[in-house]
Chains A and B, each alone.
Chain A
């Protein structure tokens, strides 16, 4: 099956700085693809190029098997990072309008909007202007506008920001439902636990370049052989300077250590027990969170 998105060597410059610097990546069809990176890494610029809002200075983009210039943008649903809704417009009218400009007939757009408002428990607000809604509700409305015409490819920029756990779950269920039906979903987010739970592919970019890309399990495998997760009581700062330890991450209640190649984890456990009361010691694959931090802080190009 051909990839949903193929990006080949794209470059986007603002003045002298390259926000996107020779990025290439493939988003396989039917995956939930986590597009990760710190602030200013070039994620939003890349997404905007995918949506033809910006034009790349170099490189080529193919979406859903067609050159980007030719693809019908109705096939792509885009939830921008900064939400945009008409404040004074009634919910139902607004969703109908967004459905219409995305290729639905007026009737179809209205019916689907009504059904979605029902499902998102917003039906009682259908005739109210958007400005009367809470931030979280507006977020749901924006999400409905994105998926109303059931696009084959969904690009969601921070879809869960501002949502409480209950509403996050409602959204997550919809996303998983789309995934099961074979739609491709690209996620851009800082919420690593979400990535961990939802994504099957990830791509990490920093300073406009791809640091790593692949299935979640393959990325983790590359790291997982020599990781140790350790929970203890006492001052564990000395762990950082153990000769067996390649890198050290303090996560608060626990630390994550990456060991040097070929090191016996038992020796680290012994060293730890000598000076700390160890509560838990686990050979672990790193979380996406750990990989993110290690990669980005190690990237001192």
Chain B
């Protein structure tokens, strides 16, 4: 069968391209960076010693605060070097002013001013010239609160540790009952992350490989390779060869991405993600991911094939591709709403609409494992649509591929379809 040669050519040439190697290895790295970077930044503690001047009107809280501020740098040395500036009564404002001037001159970094009324409800002041560093501010606030709280409790004759234990909050864990009757721990945040990652990957893979098909057809058409091809093989062989060859190149890329993903989730990623919540991607999700990639690719590729056959230049093709990608954007945009109730009638209906099925059905599978019949129905509907799309595009392709010049109207497309029949 001659389609075999086309399959081999499409596969080898696509996998050999520089852009393939780049996207295959750069995309997962970018994605992991995208996830890990904020956390890495948050985890990075400042590597500089800060000089703190504590202007203390109370006479004792300042000392307790400095004693409690025991943070160290990575090299084990104290992060803060604090000096207490006692300033009782009217001297407070002047001392405060003097320390602010010291900050101005660069002799100190942070001024923490503790007024007498701190034991009631007066605010302490944190003054610095540096970029707002909320980590330090948070830390100061927490330490100072603890110190003041201890003093207030002591004044009432209460034990700090005891009160702390007695007033500890209660946590409620999120659980979900799966279709199989298992109770699984769930976390909205991590689930949302997983769904978005899978949806974006699926979207990128389907659209970029679909566009690859359109591009290669425009090239063959523009350079008249198509005349040589069609004088040696049938349009059916060519289309089939392209779908399978390019699809396999896409699968190769996904396989690499999956391997990288599994390695990361098996290794470094959970440590980082554990901070958000339990990450749970059942292996079956990867299988569905591949299934929906293949189906989504076939559906959109047959659309992109018509676009390629209709276009005389790559610009022509790109304009039309922008419109053709809309059905992929809509499910992405509705994902957030969709996730709040993935089992509603609208959600089920949308996930069964073939152009939306890859992303939305996959999202539902990750979120709640819908009944098997819904998954199968979605796949069945897609297969039927693909059958019609490929048949239609094969017929339009044969006529359109040899036409040059003006872009055809929809009416002409239908005319081509009839001609080929």
Residues on A facing B (Cβ under 8 Å): 48, 51-54, 73-74, 76, 78, 80, 82-89, 93, 97-98, 100-102, 145
**B314: Cβ under 8 A from any A Cβ:** no
**B226: Cβ under 8 A from any A Cβ:** yes
Residues of chain A contacted by B232 (CB below 8 angstroms): 73-74, 98, 101-102
Query: B284 → chain A, closest Cβ, in Å?
Result: 38
B402 contacts A88, CB within 8 Å?
no
Binds A, one of B5-13, B68-76, B357-365: B5-13
**CB-CB under 8 A for A87 and B12, given A52-B231, A53-B231, A54-B402:** no
Residues of chain A contacted by B9 (CB below 8 angstroms): 89, 93, 97
A86 contacts B13, CB within 8 Å?
yes
Residues of chain A contacted by B231 (CB below 8 angstroms): 51-53, 73, 76, 78
**B64: Cβ under 8 A from any A Cβ:** no
CA distance A83 to B219 in the complex (A): 12
**B233: Cβ under 8 A from any A Cβ:** yes
A80 contacts B219, CB within 8 Å?
no
Residues of chain A contacted by B223 (CB below 8 angstroms): 82-87
Residues of chain A contacted by B291 (CB below 8 angstroms): none
B225 contacts A97, CB within 8 Å?
no
A82 contacts B5, CB within 8 Å?
no
A84 contacts B402, CB within 8 Å?
no
B227 contacts A101, CB within 8 Å?
no
**B183: Cβ under 8 A from any A Cβ:** no
22 contacts across the A-B interface (CB closer than 8 A) = A51-B231, A52-B230, A53-B227, A53-B230, A53-B402, A54-B402, A76-B231, A78-B227, A82-B223, A84-B220, A84-B223, A84-B225, A85-B223, A86-B13, A86-B225, A87-B223, A89-B13, A98-B228, A98-B232, A101-B2, A101-B5, A102-B232
Residue with the greatest number of chain B CB neighbours at <10 A, chosen from A82, A84, A86, A93:
A84
A88 contacts B227, CB within 8 Å?
no
Q: A51-B230, A53-B231 are in contact. List 9 more A-B contacts (CB 8 A).
A: A78-B227, A78-B231, A84-B226, A85-B223, A86-B13, A87-B219, A100-B2, A101-B2, A101-B233
CA distance A97 to B219 in the complex (A): 17
Residues of chain B contacted by A82 (CB below 8 angstroms): 223-224
Residues of chain A contacted by B402 (CB below 8 angstroms): 53-54
Residues of chain A contacted by B2 (CB below 8 angstroms): 100-101
**CB-CB under 8 A for A80 and B228, given A54-B402, A86-B13, A88-B13:** yes
Residues of chain A contacted by B5 (CB below 8 angstroms): 97, 100-101
Query: A298 → chain B, closest Cβ, in Å?
Result: 32
**B132: Cβ under 8 A from any A Cβ:** no
Contact of B227 among A51, A76, A86, A93 (CB under 8 A): A51
CA distance A53 to B226 in the complex (A): 10
Interface size class of B (residues with CB under 8 A): 20 to 34
Encode B253-290 as 1/0 by CB contact (under 8 A) with A.
00000000000000000000000000000000000000
Query: B388 → chain A, closest Cβ, in Å?
Result: 25
CA distance A101 to B1 in the complex (A): 9
CA distance A75 to B6 in the complex (A): 20
A93 contacts B12, CB within 8 Å?
yes
A78 contacts B219, CB within 8 Å?
no
Closest-by-CB residue of A relative to B2 is A101
**B411: Cβ under 8 A from any A Cβ:** no
**B136: Cβ under 8 A from any A Cβ:** no
Residues of chain B contacted by A80 (CB below 8 angstroms): 224, 227-228
CA distance A155 to B6 in the complex (A): 24
Residues of chain B contacted by A100 (CB below 8 angstroms): 2, 5
Closest-by-CB residue of A relative to B13 is A89
Residue with the greatest number of chain B CB neighbours at <10 A, chosen from A85, A93, A101, A102:
A101
Segment 192-251 of B: residues with Cβ below 8 Å from A: 219-220, 223-233
CA distance A86 to B16 in the complex (A): 14
Query: A62 → chain B, closest Cβ, in Å?
Result: 17
**B17: Cβ under 8 A from any A Cβ:** yes
CA distance A100 to B8 in the complex (A): 11
Query: B241 → chain A, closest Cβ, in Å?
Result: 9
CA distance A73 to B231 in the complex (A): 6
Closest-by-CB residue of A relative to B233 is A101
B224 contacts A84, CB within 8 Å?
yes
Residues of chain B contacted by A85 (CB below 8 angstroms): 223, 225
Query: A104 → chain B, closest Cβ, in Å?
Result: 10
Closest-by-CB residue of A relative to B9 is A97
CA distance A93 to B8 in the complex (A): 11
CA distance A102 to B231 in the complex (A): 9
A84 contacts B13, CB within 8 Å?
no
B13 contacts A78, CB within 8 Å?
no
Closest-by-CB residue of B relative to A52 is B231
Query: B236 → chain A, closest Cβ, in Å?
Result: 13
Closest-by-CB residue of A relative to B237 is A101
Contact of B228 among A52, A74, A78 (CB under 8 A): A78
Segment 1-39 of B: residues with Cβ below 8 Å from A: 2, 5-6, 9, 12-13, 17
CA distance A48 to B232 in the complex (A): 13
Closest-by-CB residue of A relative to B229 is A101
CA distance A74 to B224 in the complex (A): 18
Residue with the greatest number of chain A CB neighbours at <10 A, chosen from B2, B5, B230:
B5
Closest-by-CB residue of B relative to A130 is B223
Residues of chain B contacted by A53 (CB below 8 angstroms): 227, 230-231, 402
Residues of chain A contacted by B226 (CB below 8 angstroms): 84
Query: B228 → chain A, closest Cβ, in Å?
Result: 6
Residues of chain B contacted by A76 (CB below 8 angstroms): 231
Residues of chain A contacted by B6 (CB below 8 angstroms): 101
Query: B418 → chain A, closest Cβ, in Å?
Result: 14
Closest-by-CB residue of A relative to B221 is A84
Residues of chain B contacted by A88 (CB below 8 angstroms): 13, 17
Encode B40-70 as 1/0 by CB contact (under 8 A) with A.
0000000000000000000000000000000
Query: A264 → chain B, closest Cβ, in Å?
Result: 53
Residues of chain A contacted by B13 (CB below 8 angstroms): 86, 88-89, 93
Closest-by-CB residue of B relative to A89 is B13
Query: B332 → chain A, closest Cβ, in Å?
Result: 32
CA distance A93 to B5 in the complex (A): 11
Residues of chain A contacted by B233 (CB below 8 angstroms): 101
Query: B140 → chain A, closest Cβ, in Å?
Result: 61
Residues of chain A contacted by B228 (CB below 8 angstroms): 78, 80, 84, 98, 145
Residues of chain A contacted by B219 (CB below 8 angstroms): 86-87
Query: B405 → chain A, closest Cβ, in Å?
Result: 11
